[in-house]
A and B are shown apart, each in its own frame.
Chain A
Amino acid sequence: MAFLDNSGDIILDAVLTETGRKRMADGNFSISKFALGDDEINYTQYDKNHASGSAYSDLEIMQTPIFQPLTTTAAAINYGLLSLTNVGVLYMPAAEVNELINQSLAATGSVYYVAVNAATKTNLVTDFGGTTAGAPYVMQAGSNSARSVLFEFGINSSDIGATAANRSAYISNMNLLDSGISVSADSRFINGVMQITRNSRFSNNANNDLTAVINTEIVATSTAARNLDNYNEYSCRCIDDLIFVPSTNTATSLSAITGPRGTLGALNIDVLTELKTESGGTRSTLWNNYGRLSQTVAAGSSKTYDLIDTMVYIVGDTTGTSLQIPIRLARSTN
């Protein structure tokens, strides 16, 4: 894919996507709306303090070469421009994984382990340090287990205190609360995701005492992801993240977000039945085709596992804030 010629007037290079051609063949090609993207832009090149003045702040950005369009729907517009009505927005929510509380799953080797069956979970917990030390690193697919991948949306800046008033002023009143998210998962392995239940709670009091009632439930309905091949998209909920700065401290150890928090989500996944077979059962060809067989995950351990690495994408419905969760599916083989 080459760059577009940017030596003269601005030109527009337009192509039909694969989906567009398919819809044309079906006889239902009907364009009804548009959206804008800026995927090539690296905003860190914006120099607010340019020596020659603000007219030169975006000099580097304006010289960004633009790729020719792709006909695949993937990579066409990954993030997109936003139509926030309030021009006074200075802070936008970020998304961060919370590994700080007892209900959260922690990454090991920068991936999150999902055991496809109970036996695998037991073995992994043992390999990762035993019942107590190893438990934070493993969750079981399709199970409302004690731990799940927790993530928070909020203003991740120390500029603003994490108070209830600031949560309203900077998030709720700015219409930046991501109460819903889209979760995209690879349908070749994953046939359902688990979202946080409506009655879950995540809050603290003035003494920083945590109330964390976090349960998950399966979301079985999905649609084909429109920008990722082989992926399905699930609509999931988030709950209010009511962790505020305690009166006795200036910070809290309960949240991954520094400033005002908006919402909290939880993620687990369910996998295809054929991936769940135990070590004595028939090994799915998916393990061989897409993963690695009989691997060890801990030095000195004799336990081996089939592994498949996959990525789960989370996007806030309101702000488009995105998060990528690297998942490692594991199946014990001995």
Chain B
Amino acid sequence: MPKNYEPLDTTSDVTTTTTLLHEAIPLTGTIASGTYGTLANGGNIKNYTHGMFQSVYDYPYLSSSANHIFDLTAGYDEGSALSGSSSRVQQKKKINLYNQFAQVLLGYTGSNNIVEIFESDLDYGDNSNQMKEVLFVDFSRLIVKDQVKPGTFSMVLGTGSWSGSFNRMEGGKSALVTLTDKSASADGTNTKNTIGGDYGVLWASGSNDATTARGYGDLRGSTRKAYGVVFYQAGIAILTSSIFSVDGAGSGVNLADFYKHPSLGNQTINQTLTGSSISGACDALRHRISNISFNNTTEINSKIYFCRVPHNKYNYSANPTYTSGSKIIVKSVASDSPISYITTVGLYNSSNELLAVAKLSEPLRKDPTNDITIRVRLDY
């Protein structure tokens, strides 16, 4: 227990700072679609009896080593053309899910408190580019941390046939479509603020080929098209179903076999959303995820304590080895300078309780000829 303490002046010896730490998060599609078993029964895929969503882990989820990576679910607005007769499979749940995401991320509109509709643009109140039938990819806090870094999100999907989702198509065109928020920036450029945080638009990039793939447009020209949004703080990507079907302008691809239902056979995405369970739609999307990557962000708030050691203090030690026969070992005569070696900095409250401790990687010599400032940073 130390006997000598040095006060810290809260105005001159303590300061705060904030830094952002980014980590690259690459998620290979095989984790979602087959590393731990044949679709749809991967050991890392967890389905629930309620059937509302599906969880993807990085390892068979029964293992304590498994980490939760993301959840998948699907839904549509009650005003969607898909909303209809009671014969729709899990229709109520799909509508409830759409509303749940919309009310949390976009809020309500109008005097009747109608939930906003997702739109694949930054002006979510203008009712254009509405996404009424969507697939949700909800990333775990474990990998998103504080938020997805704007401008770094990328998701590559296969738009080929069910049996060859990622294979090249006729004419050598790629079946892969990349959705990216590349135009967004951490300074707020090309992002929109909502009650659910900021979001950016996911634009399609046909492929890495010079040839634009299958009518998805290209980021490089005016033909670019948006197929979803990504909410950065929430860590949620929302994809419109039209990415797997022909949109209103006749663009895109109308996949007849978006999903191969175990008993009903091939289904388009609209048939999947109406005629298959939510977990079926999730299986279909997993089957077509080639790659996902983004940078996450951790906001680190730090308090820095400048521990100033004056020249005339802490030059002696109570260490039992400091003396031999009461004589200070580092001195031969009284006029020699006392010397001590600092290895540890203890930070205390006014009651002398040790609240934090810092260790130097090597001893620091202290004698009356030097004063030292040790900068201790505590991150929160």
Residues of A within 8 A of B (CB): 4-6, 10-17, 19-20, 23, 28-44, 46, 48, 57-58, 61-64, 66-71, 73, 76-85, 87-94, 154-159, 182, 225-227, 259, 315, 317-322
Known: A44-B329, A82-B3, A91-B326. A62 touches B318 (CB 8 A): no
Known: A14-B377, A41-B321, A90-B331. A33 touches B2 (CB 8 A): no
A13 to chain B, nearest CB (A): 5
Inter-subunit contact B2/A37 (CB<8 Å): yes
Residues of the B chain whose Cβ atoms lie less than 8 Å from the Cβ of A80: 1-4, 317-318
Q: Which residue in B2, B350, B362, B363 is a CB contact (below 8 Å) of A35?
A: B2
Known: A6-B362, A19-B355, A155-B326. A226 touches B1 (CB 8 A): yes
Closest to A158 in B: B325
Return 14 A-B CB contacts under 8 Å, by A number.
Answer: A10-B361, A23-B353, A31-B347, A31-B348, A33-B347, A37-B346, A77-B1, A77-B2, A79-B318, A90-B328, A90-B331, A92-B323, A92-B328, A227-B354
Residues of the A chain whose Cβ atoms lie less than 8 Å from the Cβ of B5: 33-35
Known: A33-B8, A182-B1. A17 touches B326 (CB 8 A): no
Residues of the B chain whose Cβ atoms lie less than 8 Å from the Cβ of A92: 316, 322-323, 326, 328
Q: How far is the CA of A155 from the CA of B328 in the complex (A)?
A: 11
Per-position binary interface string of chain B over residues 1-24, scored 1 when its CB falls under 8 Å from any chain A CB and 0 otherwise: 111111110100010000000000
Known: A12-B359, A69-B359. A35 touches B326 (CB 8 A): no
A216 to chain B, nearest CB (A): 24
Q: Which residue in B317, B321, B361, B375 is a CB contact (below 8 Å) of A81?
A: B317
B196 at the interface (CB under 8 A from A): no
Q: Which of B133-141, B229-237, B258-266, B306-314 contacts A (4 or more CB under 8 A)?
A: B306-314
Inter-subunit contact A89/B316 (CB<8 Å): yes
Closest to B376 in A: A14
Known: A31-B8, A226-B352. A43 touches B322 (CB 8 A): yes
Q: Which residue in B313, B354, B359, B362 is a CB contact (below 8 Å) of A20?
A: B354
B374 at the interface (CB under 8 A from A): yes
Q: How far is the CA of A37 from the CA of B212 in the complex (A)?
A: 66
Inter-subunit contact A33/B6 (CB<8 Å): yes
Closest to B2 in A: A80
Residues of the A chain whose Cβ atoms lie less than 8 Å from the Cβ of B357: 14-15, 17, 69-71, 76-77
Inter-subunit contact B360/A16 (CB<8 Å): no
Q: How far is the CA of A94 from the CA of B347 in the complex (A)?
A: 28
B154 at the interface (CB under 8 A from A): no
Q: How far is the CA of A41 from the CA of B355 in the complex (A)?
A: 23
A29 to chain B, nearest CB (A): 6
Q: Which residue in B3, B321, B343 is a CB contact (below 8 Å) of A44?
A: B321
Q: How far is the CA of A62 from the CA of B357 in the complex (A)?
A: 21
Chain B contacts with A in 287-342, Cβ cutoff 8 A: 305, 307, 309, 312-342
Closest to B366 in A: A81
Inter-subunit contact A87/B337 (CB<8 Å): yes
A212 to chain B, nearest CB (A): 23
B188 to chain A, nearest CB (A): 32
Known: A35-B346, A66-B362, A80-B2. A226 touches B356 (CB 8 A): no
Known: A30-B349, A43-B322. A58 touches B365 (CB 8 A): yes
Inter-subunit contact A33/B1 (CB<8 Å): no
B368 at the interface (CB under 8 A from A): yes
Inter-subunit contact A66/B343 (CB<8 Å): yes
Known: A6-B362, A11-B361, A79-B320. A226 touches B353 (CB 8 A): yes
Q: How far is the CA of A40 from the CA of B359 in the complex (A)?
A: 11
Residues of the A chain whose Cβ atoms lie less than 8 Å from the Cβ of B352: 226
Residue from A33, A40, A157, A225 having most chain B Cβ neighbours under 10 A: A33
Residues of the A chain whose Cβ atoms lie less than 8 Å from the Cβ of B374: 12
B128 at the interface (CB under 8 A from A): no
Inter-subunit contact B318/A20 (CB<8 Å): no
Q: Which residue in B307, B312, B320, B321 is a CB contact (below 8 Å) of A85?
A: B312
Inter-subunit contact A66/B359 (CB<8 Å): yes
Inter-subunit contact B326/A82 (CB<8 Å): no
Inter-subunit contact A37/B376 (CB<8 Å): no
Known: A43-B329, A79-B320, A156-B325. A31 touches B305 (CB 8 A): yes
B345 at the interface (CB under 8 A from A): yes
B134 to chain A, nearest CB (A): 41
Residues of the B chain whose Cβ atoms lie less than 8 Å from the Cβ of A64: 341, 343, 362-363
Question: Lowest 7 CB-CB distances: which A-B pairs, in order?
Answer: A80-B2, A320-B318, A20-B355, A37-B344, A14-B358, A35-B2, A83-B313
